[in-house]
Structure 1
Amino acid sequence: MKDKRRLGNDVVCRCITRTGCKAMIRVTLLKQREWVIDKFYDIHNHPLDPPSHVLKQRSHSIFHRSNECKDAVSLLSKAGLSASQITKIVNAFRGNEEDKLKRVQCSNIINSKKFNLGRECHGIIMHFKEKAKHDHDFYFDMDLSKDGTLRSVFWADGRSRSSYCNFGDVVVFDTTYKTSKFSLPFAPFVGVNHHGQSILFGGALLENESEITFTWLFKQFLKYMHESHPISIITDQDIAMGKAIGKVFPKTKHRFCAWHIQKHVLEHPQPLRSRFDDFEDTYNQWVKCQNADDLKSQWKDLKEKYNIMDDSWLGNMYKMRHFWVKTYLKDTFFAGMITSGRCESMHSFFDAFVNSKTMLSDFVLQYDRAVSSRRDVEEDEDFRTLNSKPTLDTDHPIEAMAAKCYTRNIYDIFKKEWKATSDCGHEKISKDSDLVKYRVGHFERKQRKLENC
């Protein structure tokens, strides 16, 4: 209502409607002190909308405000679908009605609940307490600020602890995934099981990626996992993360992700490649050195030949060579992993359950659904292994024993290696009371050597 004027017992009001139309109404006061509208002056200042445009007016679009629509959108949103996907599904079920749900309207419904970190924290606590009622091994802890605001949270269930006891030799850790409404880094602890599948040992939402935050998280993880240190851990080249690992996991071999290292190798030494044609070959030969003494010796030659400074990228990488050069890592068990690709694939998997608008309380719910889905796949492989037998290529007792001891997926890996051994021959080199030495090689190569002689 724009303004009003009193004329005796009448009140004349001038207003502008939501569609931009001007109108005047006259309200009369009766003796019983009741107001009655007795005249309406319709004064338009623009052409009327055609019938096809009427339903596009906010006042005529009513479906998105109905409980039916809100309930459907909320249900699909909790299942992890995006606003665009929900809009298509809801409109498909409604048929060809003109008053369809729009993507913006769908987003408004999803975001209609006020995002409040305190409320989100309360929702997470209630969810975790409910889980603890059914899983006595469920564990969670929160790092709170002085005013009670959530900083970070770590959680893991009993199945995760059991998995870690069986397969926790190698842990892959990554914090590049950010999907929650508050952009908190999601940090999963990932391993590999007896089928070669990725499994989750626990998850965390972190305030930041500082050394203090990582130290708190790793201590919580170690506390829940019976103070059992992993043999090795694979991460990206993060300084704060590395310092925290050194403090909390001093017995664990820390390895940098080979994919990230290779990415930087292609970028930083490029000026040296441009200036020296032989740099690429010399560098690769140095990296593949089989022992530490040769590596150090060749580094001196490499440094002098190409004038590499100590404070350059390559110079700094040499100082951290124990975390990425193969000769320092070949004696440590990494379960066949050299990159954080397990976490990357897990991130892609979580994309089916969460998106950038997912609230924290919903995020932990979707985490449970994602983990449950992964475990269903693991149980399928367990069933397949227990209720079927692999086909053997030979009658050798070693292959028969491997087929009996290994799961089908691991046996397939062994089978390729076993088949390759059939192309190898061996000859005795020396023998003493305690040790017999053999030389092993491919038959084809051995035959060529004999022919050349």
Structure 2
Amino acid sequence: MDMNNKRTVAAAVVTSQPNISTTINVQENMNCVDKWVNNIHEQNVQHSIANSEPHLEMKFESEASAYDFYNSYSKRIGFGIRREYANKNRVDGILTSRRFTCFKEGIRSVDKRYDSIAEPRAETRTGCQARMAISLDRKIGKYKVVDFIVQHNHPLQPSEHVHMIRSHRRISEAQASQIVLGDESGLRPKDLHEYISKQVGGIETVGFTREDLKNYLQTKRKQSQKKITNIFWADAQMINDYGYFGDVITFDTTYKTNKDCRPLGVFVGLNNHRKTVIFGATLLYDETIPYFRWLFETFLKAMGGAKPKTILTDQDAAMARAISVVMPETFHGLCTWHIRQNVVRHVNHLYQKSSRFRFDFEACIDLHEEESEFLNAWNSLLVDHKVSEGSCLHTIFQLKEKWAWAYVRKTFTAGMRSTQLSESFNADLKNHLKSDLNLVQFFTHFKRAVNGKRNNESEAEYNSKHKLPKLKMKKAVMLVQAGDVYTPRIFEEFQAEYEEYQNTCIKDLKEGLYAITNYGNPKERIVMGNPMEQKVSCECRKFETHGILCNHALKVLDVMNIKLISEHYILKRWTRDARLGSNQDWKGKHVELDIKAHFMKRYNECVLE
């Protein structure tokens, strides 16, 4: 068990069983005393050996102890060492002899590129013959010094410079842990090196240079990243949030948020306060069908297999194909903002030529409700504005079921038509992140951005409980009910519909069928009403798409003398009690959240090359 795991277990014990933790702490203290005494004894022995001079027949338990001794000796004298040749027994592979040399031993071989290099490396070797050689004495099982030359052919380094010699630079395990923690916290290598140096008394005693620290971090990053192609990350609260608000999600990718410039994708939704809620994040190796398919399958697995009703994305063809395979029952809508931007980019001349084009195109996106009405309007747009055959408008028409209101209004979207939530969160991320972050740093800072969104939700939750709803008609029992049930933001939307219904006129067409018109708007809305079942259905489909009743339906409810909202018209996702109940994770277990916990269970999934 590593030290991190030990600390985690200890934290859990302290939280749940104080008495046991005290026993453990006492035992640990006793062990620490024993270790301390043993360390002092070992240090005294090592100190006496380290201060001695090398000599023939000197004995060592191992090759490593011989190296450490000669290296310690060289540090006192003012030079560095290297491991030179070694001999091993061919039968058992045991090291039989080794030579340690001065770091200036030998002469560097001639580099063929020397003449073409603008600034070749300076020569450092002088052919120094100073050395210590050891050989294994099999009778006693120890290594003996069989050769020792003390003289050097170069000046020795003064004590204030010895710490810069390569053989005297080493990052200890404790320092490595500090470096990793500091790096994850966003400290620059320069500041991190200065901080650790001050802890041990200065740069001369820290044991490594700033360049060593940089190289160590680069090596760690390469070791942890070189085989990873895709990463998906979600914590317990994200899984829980998806269980409550995962009926409609948006997904969008962005770049330049991490050192490898991998596409970052974030799954985003709306909570009961219409605030952004994060369901998970991914770093992809590439935006192709196999990678997107892996991502969506992994996402659904993490969320317990529950598929959303609607997912909104941009026009990426590979993403669309993967969604159709992994989530065939889910409605895949295209972001209308991206649709507009693509049209502006490709047929900007039509906007410049006629101001009417913008109005006609916007009407095709948002206004026309019936398919026949939309098709007629689209054909008129092509003819009236003389759209050429190769125009991008013909391409987006092939995807009309994913963006035109005549088709989108058939499914629940929680009132969303774009991936604005995802893009807004991506913009927030860039305020928290730097493009040179490694993966560990990236997700550490990503968590910080997520916590910012969660703080917004906490504030909205507090205000909903602390502040009373602002009723504009205090005697309207349906408004009073809505104020008690809905969150403040949703109540405001409902109250706006309730106010509008005061300005509507109703015409009884036949039993159970009504025509509603709004004051100043001659368009009729046909509403079906059933007083026995307390049900209404309006052709505007406000409830089916947004989840709250429209003013036309409210008018008919009033005519049918129904003064309260029936339960089947109150979506739990919009209520104050949206989070009541528990959800299940990918293993079918209930997701438990403890706001006081220091460690939260996370779902991590990565794929290797």
Indicate conservation of the 8 Å contact 2:364/2:404, yes or no: no
Indicate conservation of the 8 Å contact 2:255/2:264, yes or no: yes
C-alpha spacing 1:82/1:294, structure 2 compared with 1 (3 Å): farther
What is the Cα deviation at residue 366 of structure 1? 3.5
The answer for the alignment partner of 1:127 in structure 2 is none
1:400 paired to 2:480: yes
The answer for the alignment partner of 2:217 in structure 1 is 113
Indicate conservation of the 8 Å contact 2:251/2:312, yes or no: yes
1:361 paired to 2:431: no
RMSD of Structure 2 on Structure 1 (CA): 4.6
Indicate conservation of the 8 Å contact 2:312/2:418, yes or no: yes
What is the Cα deviation at residue 241 of structure 1? 0.6
What is the Cα deviation at residue 441 of structure 1? 2.0
For structure 2, which runs of at least 5 residues remain unmatched after alignment? 1-78, 80-104, 106-121, 131-147, 156-163, 165-169, 204-208, 522-609
Indicate conservation of the 8 Å contact 1:253/1:332, yes or no: yes
What is the Cα deviation at residue 260 of structure 1? 1.6
Letter in 1 for 2:368: C
Larger radius of gyration: 2
Indicate conservation of the 8 Å contact 1:121/1:361, yes or no: no
Indicate conservation of the 8 Å contact 1:236/1:260, yes or no: yes
Task: Choose the corresponding residue for 2:301, options 223, 243, 246.
Answer: 223
Q: Deviations 1:26-51 (Å, cap 9, x if unpaired)?
A: 999xxxx97678998xxxxxxxxxxx
Alpha-carbon separation, structure 2, partners of 1:291 and 1:371: 40
1:78 paired to 2:157: no
Task: Choose the corresponding residue for 2:253, options 175, 181, 192.
Answer: 175
Alignment of 1:222-371 (within 5 A): 222-275=300-353, 278-287=356-365, 288-371=367-450
Please state whether the residue corresponding to 2:312 is helix, strand or coil.
strand
Give the TM-score, by structure 2 length. 0.51
What is the Cα deviation at residue 209 of structure 1? 0.3
Indicate conservation of the 8 Å contact 1:73/1:106, yes or no: no
Q: Deviations 1:381-423 (Å, cap 9, x if unpaired)?
A: 33332344334332121221121112233334444454x527x
What is the Cα deviation at residue 301 of structure 1? 3.2
Please state whether the residue corresponding to 1:175 is helix, strand or coil.
strand
Moved more, 401-410 or 236-245: 401-410
Alpha-carbon separation, structure 1, partners of 2:211 and 2:281: 28
Alpha-carbon separation, structure 2, partners of 1:311 and 1:428: 48
The answer for the alignment partner of 2:266 in structure 1 is 188
What is the Cα deviation at residue 201 of structure 1? 1.2
C-alpha spacing 1:430/1:39, structure 2 compared with 1 (3 Å): closer
Please state whether the residue corresponding to 1:207 is helix, strand or coil.
coil
The answer for the alignment partner of 2:133 in structure 1 is none
Letter in 2 for 1:383: Y
Q: Deviations 1:162-206 (Å, cap 9, x if unpaired)?
A: 211210111110121442322222222111111211111122221
Alpha-carbon separation, structure 1, partners of 2:303 and 2:152: 75
Alpha-carbon separation, structure 2, partners of 1:401 and 1:38: 95
C-alpha spacing 1:232/1:113, structure 2 compared with 1 (3 Å): same
Letter in 2 for 1:308: V
Alpha-carbon separation, structure 2, partners of 1:178 and 1:107: 26
C-alpha spacing 1:289/1:317, structure 2 compared with 1 (3 Å): same
Please state whether the residue corresponding to 1:183 is helix, strand or coil.
coil
C-alpha spacing 1:360/1:27, structure 2 compared with 1 (3 Å): closer
Moved more, 378-387 or 69-78: 69-78
Alpha-carbon separation, structure 1, partners of 2:291 and 2:244: 27
Alpha-carbon separation, structure 2, partners of 1:177 and 1:440: 47
Indicate conservation of the 8 Å contact 2:183/2:441, yes or no: no
Q: Deviations 1:241-293 (Å, cap 9, x if unpaired)?
A: 11111111212221222222221222211233445565444444544433211
C-alpha spacing 1:108/1:430, structure 2 compared with 1 (3 Å): farther
What is the Cα deviation at residue 118 of structure 1? 6.4
Indicate conservation of the 8 Å contact 1:172/1:235, yes or no: yes
Alpha-carbon separation, structure 1, partners of 2:273 and 2:357: 41
C-alpha spacing 1:275/1:199, structure 2 compared with 1 (3 Å): closer
Alpha-carbon separation, structure 1, partners of 2:220 and 2:175: 24
Please state whether the residue corresponding to 2:272 is helix, strand or coil.
coil
Please state whether the residue corresponding to 1:375 is helix, strand or coil.
helix
What is the Cα deviation at residue 429 of structure 1? 1.2
Q: Deviations 1:301-324 (Å, cap 9, x if unpaired)?
A: 333444434442111111111222
What is the Cα deviation at residue 435 of structure 1? 2.8
What is the Cα deviation at residue 76 of structure 1? 5.2
C-alpha spacing 1:229/1:72, structure 2 compared with 1 (3 Å): closer
Alpha-carbon separation, structure 2, partners of 1:107 and 1:185: 30
Alpha-carbon separation, structure 2, partners of 1:245 and 1:192: 20
Number of aligned positions between the proteins: 373
Indicate conservation of the 8 Å contact 1:177/1:185, yes or no: yes
Alpha-carbon separation, structure 2, partners of 1:403 and 1:178: 44
The answer for the alignment partner of 1:384 in structure 2 is 463
